[in-house]
Structure 1
């Protein structure tokens, strides 16, 4: 397993797209902190990058990588390796490579300009998005043989989590405004890893006005510290469940 993880990581860290991704994050991060002396504004700006741009790159790049590595994967399947070990190795190599790129591109500037608990939460949230959307990418690619369809499913998933979700929540609020919706809103929040990470950062910044309705309800219901703890636990579930489902699918897939 270590050999495969090492091979995938070394191959990806030399990849031009990954190198460009790292450089772009680095430039954007330093740029955000340099625009204003107030580092809090830099964190807020980087939050949008970490919760929109990072998931997009993670899910698209990982999906394309799996399809482009189909022959390599088939070759490894023919070896005396358990499919579970093989698939987890590919996921680990992908996720670790993208996580390293994020840590260099965002983690280093945050360490320089905002080495506080808030900065740490931002970096941890970005890492969660990397791990989660890499896992979702593997699940989409293993369930769909057609490359174009698989990439389309991945992009649609990202689109739903980052853009459509809030519109759906607002529609539900208007349609059922006469009913108590606090608990359903908390449940809906847990169904969206991007929104969970956003709330985790904003709870730490204590900027309730920017959190929207779901974030305000979440903060009111759980409180600051408890809300962040629950968010972290649910994000861990989001990290493991898609990978576990993709492993189950890969084990029974006819290559």
Structure 2
């Protein structure tokens, strides 16, 4: 696993896409803090960008990279290396690449302009969000042999979690507006890692305008600290289940 991790990291270091992603995040974050004098308003805008951009890039890049390195994966599979070690090394390398990109792209501007607990929660949410969609992207690429179909499934997944989820949640609120639905909001919010990241950050910043109904319920029922901890813990579960599923598929997959 160590050698797979090393060679994948070397390959990723040569990949300009990761560097471009880090540079884009840095330019956007630094630009928002320089343009907006109020750090809280800059954070508000940064959260919106983060919730849309990080899942999309992490998901699509992972899918495309997995398809692009199929021959290397096949070469590794005929070596005396377990399949679990192959996939584990590759996913660990991708996770480290996203971590470094986010530490540079978001960590530096946050440290310079908004250092503190809020910056830590935002950065932790961003990293977990990238890892969630890296795991989902790996699973999508392993399940779908055709690259075009895999990319299509990835984009559809992103669209469902970013656009369709909010529409369904609003429809649920309107349909049951005359009934107490607070007990159902927590499990519904747990179905979307993007919403969990938004809840964690906005509870910490205490931005009432961005909390939304699900965020307000988290804060009212659990309080700020437990609400953030629960949201981040649920994001860890979102990393775990597609990762375990990907390992299961990869061990049985005919390469």
TM-score (norm 2): 0.97
Deviation at 1:254, TM superposition (A): 1.2
Deviation at 1:44, TM superposition (A): 1.4
Partner of 1:55: 55
Partner of 1:220: 220
Partner of 1:192: 192
Partner of 1:40: 40
Deviation at 1:14, TM superposition (A): 2.1
Partner of 1:164: 164
Cα distance in 1 between the residues matched to 2:204 and 2:63: 33
Correspondence 1:129-208 to 2 at 5 A: 129-208=129-208
Gaps of 5+ in 1: none
**Most deviating of 9-18 and 55-64:** 9-18
Partner of 2:10: 10
TM-score (norm 1): 0.97
Deviation at 1:177, TM superposition (A): 2.5
For this pair of structures, how many residues does the alignment match?
255
Deviation at 1:105, TM superposition (A): 0.8
SS across alignment from 1:211:
helix
Cα distance in 1 between the residues matched to 2:74 and 2:19: 27
Please state if 1:81 is matched with 2:97: no
Cα distance in 2 between the residues matched to 1:179 and 1:38: 39
Query: How much is the aligned-residue C-alpha RMSD, in angstroms?
Result: 1.1
Cα distance in 2 between the residues matched to 1:206 and 1:113: 18
Deviation at 1:39, TM superposition (A): 1.4
